[in-house]
Structure 1
């Protein structure tokens, strides 16, 4: 659902919409610009962003191989890259989730830091450091949670300067330059919104609104966490074993860097309010590299175990995209006649329906959870926006018969129920893209 929304935002950007003003979300604008660049490459943009995601994942695997070569032979380095590609789908990374794109600049930054670590030239260290921090800055504009990895990378570069005998004043000056470089893309985006007169909308969406979100109950977070750990358990166990072996060896800075990078990526996962599986995607890169260092000793057994895991847990889901496409097409067929006569409203369903039906948007808060999730009720004043939306009487409203992961916003749900009772009639019930529930389409009463 997330990547469908990113594609929808990208499509609206091409039609003049301004993120955070005309269409709202918390993601940095860099992610939407990636999708916007890919959008024209296929009729609906779906194939285009998948191609972009594939290229990014493949190139990340190539970089991972290059990093692995600093720790093990070519055979295990190739396996390290393959591990990355194999475990991406198990955490929902088979498409265009944000980490699929920003893992590439972060992996390149890590490779540059390792090159700086082995360099005796101060000029080379500075060059590697500045490029690495620029890549971190780009990654931050794809998703802000990468800042944890960026901080570790910056501290590691300071350690390299300290190793080379830099004074405290040199370290402060060097650190200030690194911070400035890393923050430049974000500052540039903020400046653009200042010039456009929409700085508050940008700042509230990107930095303030998240503080007003009510996190899920601890039991729910634990459930998400358990599912995430279960999905990558073999990789996690291999990485832990590799960490213990690396730390027992004679000290090498590159070993400690790899362990710290993995810890930072995992720390970023826990720092987020929800422990969704795809939030752990950034950790797959360092965990794959750590795991690869085991292959010269126990390669056959580890590879066999990984293949078994993929076959047991990933292959049963390989037919899901085809089933999902069939359900989406059914919804598009049912909704398209109403989209031709006004905006439809998808309360809890695929955002891609707005794009595929050529519907206008009834609200800037078009991602379903912004108005239907109880945790978002105070973050954006969902009740006020729902009241405004329903006054426009969308030509059709689609609601799900069951909730998924989060409790429903009772106020907005009651408003929808009242509007449906007064102005709408049921047209059809269709299978949802998520198994076990249906989508109910209601048409306005003047459409018979």
Structure 2
């Protein structure tokens, strides 16, 4: 008996349309894209030096260390609480924080899709979420940078604000959403203070809605004060908790005043980073501007929901860009907050079947839809950027081998003067200083901004005769020459190079203390 199998053609476009039209299908698709876009860095402890330090602080909090008191930094406590919660998941912490960050990225993409669905087709909305995920890596967000976490809070706050605007008036449901929006922005503020501008903007949108709904001036003023109080409540609670245990001054200095003591890099360096950032964001900015452009024939009702949402998103993007511009420095990860409003703004273009990139092949012109072309372009830049980062910063095997060597010889505390702070975590070493983030002692920009003289602190550490010290074979341009020159003299006199590893493009040297010194 012969069995005949018929081959039925698979209509992939129809399957894709059905998938993006379903809320559950769209969410599953975005989660899969998030995993695919970020999995290459899973398990790599050297993704980004900031992530290493956040994980170290989160781990040591479980051992009783108190940020700003036992481990100093100027990031808000909310960020360290996130990493401490991740350490509660068990394991080594590295792949755990990267998976949790991926979940946050996927959640942000899903929120982008829900916002964008109000101004674009289902395809355009899902493509906007995909675009966010394919763009993260090109701006240094392939692992656990702070915006990867707080972008979700900000996006959810924007979504709640839009729900308020969509309602006929500021009724009980609208008030509940307004409270949610401001509380979410308050929580985001305790992950990174730069969201202050976006929070203020959403507060003004809520005030506009209340005023249009007939709220009188006195009640409006009371509402604005209430929303402001909600926004600052998490920060006030954190400060009050520190004050209650006698460390309110430590909290205030680290969180609010120390930043003003930092030095500045040469303008040529910051300008170069700004140009690079702008070049990477240019395609999103162009598509976003086109997506938010008013229609040539606007509907009769100018206050219709799609138009209002477009205006809210446009204002959001402008405020986010202004926030990045004000703080300067222009490191790649500073662009990460911009990706959320820009991705939403591109949705109308991504959902337009006539929008795309014309490609000529074999004498014929083919149109690559924008929903494919833009995520593909950013994906290529992301893959290239991640490859460069892995080459420049190193991969897990190199750092883990170095940690194994240190652990086998370690007595007392390791001192990482110039190297990866994750080594403290991987070796289980005690911390020889309240300032274990190497930049605080070896970067001249931080000289005068950390509450202690870096040279005096470095001298104090070395007076404790650490058995092992990690440094580099040559200094970077940012080096604090006072501490570098001191360390070179002490290492040449009292230590010998025990081993060296090439971590990325730099050589890290492990110095071992000479007997009798």
| 1:347 CA displacement | 1.7
**Residue 263 (1) aligns with residue 263 (2):** no
Identify the residue that residue 179 of structure 2 maps to in structure 1: 130
Identify the residue that residue 199 of structure 1 maps to in structure 2: 248
Secondary structure of 2:351's aligned partner: helix
**Residue 440 (1) aligns with residue 509 (2):** yes
Indicate the structure (1 or 2) with the bigger Cα radius of gyration: 2
Identify the residue that residue 219 of structure 1 maps to in structure 2: 268
Tell which deviates more after alignment, 240-249 or 144-153.
Answer: 240-249
Tell which deviates more after alignment, 227-236 or 418-427.
Answer: 227-236
Equivalenced residue count is 444
Query: In 2, are the aligned partners of 1:40 and 1:48 still within 8 Å (CA)?
Result: no
- Equivalent residue for 1:295, pick from 341, 344, 350: 350
Identify the residue that residue 325 of structure 1 maps to in structure 2: 396
Q: Distance in 1 between matches of 2:256 and 2:137?
A: 29
Query: In 2, are the aligned partners of 1:394 and 1:444 still within 8 Å (CA)?
Result: yes
**Residue 94 (1) aligns with residue 157 (2):** no
The Cα offsets for residues 202-227 of structure 1, whole Å up to 9 and x where unpaired, read as 11000110010012121111111122
The Cα offsets for residues 214-273 of structure 1, whole Å up to 9 and x where unpaired, read as 121211111111222233332222123324446995653222110111111112212224
| 1:432 CA displacement | 1.7
Secondary structure of 1:88's aligned partner: helix
Identify the residue that residue 228 of structure 1 maps to in structure 2: 277
Query: In 1, are the aligned partners of 2:65 and 2:71 still within 8 Å (CA)?
Result: yes
- Equivalent residue for 1:254, pick from 295, 309, 315: 309
Q: Distance in 2 between matches of 1:151 and 1:338?
A: 53
Q: Distance in 2 between matches of 1:414 and 1:301?
A: 57
Tell which deviates more after alignment, 322-331 or 375-384.
Answer: 322-331
| 1:443 CA displacement | 0.8
Query: In 1, are the aligned partners of 2:469 and 2:511 still within 8 Å (CA)?
Result: yes
- Equivalent residue for 2:459, pick from 383, 387, 395: 387
The Cα offsets for residues 272-298 of structure 1, whole Å up to 9 and x where unpaired, read as 241111011111010000011212331
Query: In 1, are the aligned partners of 2:473 and 2:508 still within 8 Å (CA)?
Result: yes
Tell which deviates more after alignment, 83-92 or 252-261.
Answer: 252-261
| 1:333 CA displacement | 2.5
Tell which deviates more after alignment, 268-277 or 313-322.
Answer: 313-322
Identify the residue that residue 166 of structure 2 maps to in structure 1: 118
Identify the residue that residue 5 of structure 2 maps to in structure 1: none
Tell which deviates more after alignment, 152-161 or 244-253.
Answer: 244-253
Query: In 1, are the aligned partners of 2:117 and 2:125 still within 8 Å (CA)?
Result: yes
The Cα offsets for residues 14-54 of structure 1, whole Å up to 9 and x where unpaired, read as 00000000001111010111111111324211111112101
Identify the residue that residue 359 of structure 1 maps to in structure 2: 429
Q: Give unpaired runs (5+ residues) of structure 1.
A: none
Secondary structure of 1:293's aligned partner: helix
Classify 1:349/1:237 alpha carbon distance in 2 versus 1 (closer, same or farther; 3 Å): farther
Q: Distance in 1 between matches of 2:162 and 2:380?
A: 36
Query: In 2, are the aligned partners of 1:90 and 1:232 still within 8 Å (CA)?
Result: no
| 1:384 CA displacement | 2.1
Q: Give unpaired runs (5+ residues) of structure 2.
A: 1-48, 357-367
- Equivalent residue for 1:378, pick from 448, 452, 460: 448
| 1:414 CA displacement | 1.5
Which of the pair is proportionally richer in helix?
A: 1
Identify the residue that residue 232 of structure 2 maps to in structure 1: 183
- Equivalent residue for 1:38, pick from 59, 63, 86: 86
| 1:420 CA displacement | 0.7
The Cα offsets for residues 329-355 of structure 1, whole Å up to 9 and x where unpaired, read as 22212322333x011111222111001
- Normalising by structure 2, what TM-score? 0.82
- Normalising by structure 1, what TM-score? 0.94
Query: In 2, are the aligned partners of 1:396 and 1:442 still within 8 Å (CA)?
Result: yes
| 1:318 CA displacement | 5.2
Identify the residue that residue 415 of structure 1 maps to in structure 2: 486
Identify the residue that residue 148 of structure 1 maps to in structure 2: 197
| 1:316 CA displacement | 3.8
Q: Distance in 1 between matches of 2:277 and 2:180?
A: 33
Identify the residue that residue 396 of structure 1 maps to in structure 2: 468
**Residue 174 (1) aligns with residue 223 (2):** yes
Classify 1:116/1:273 alpha carbon distance in 2 versus 1 (closer, same or farther; 3 Å): same
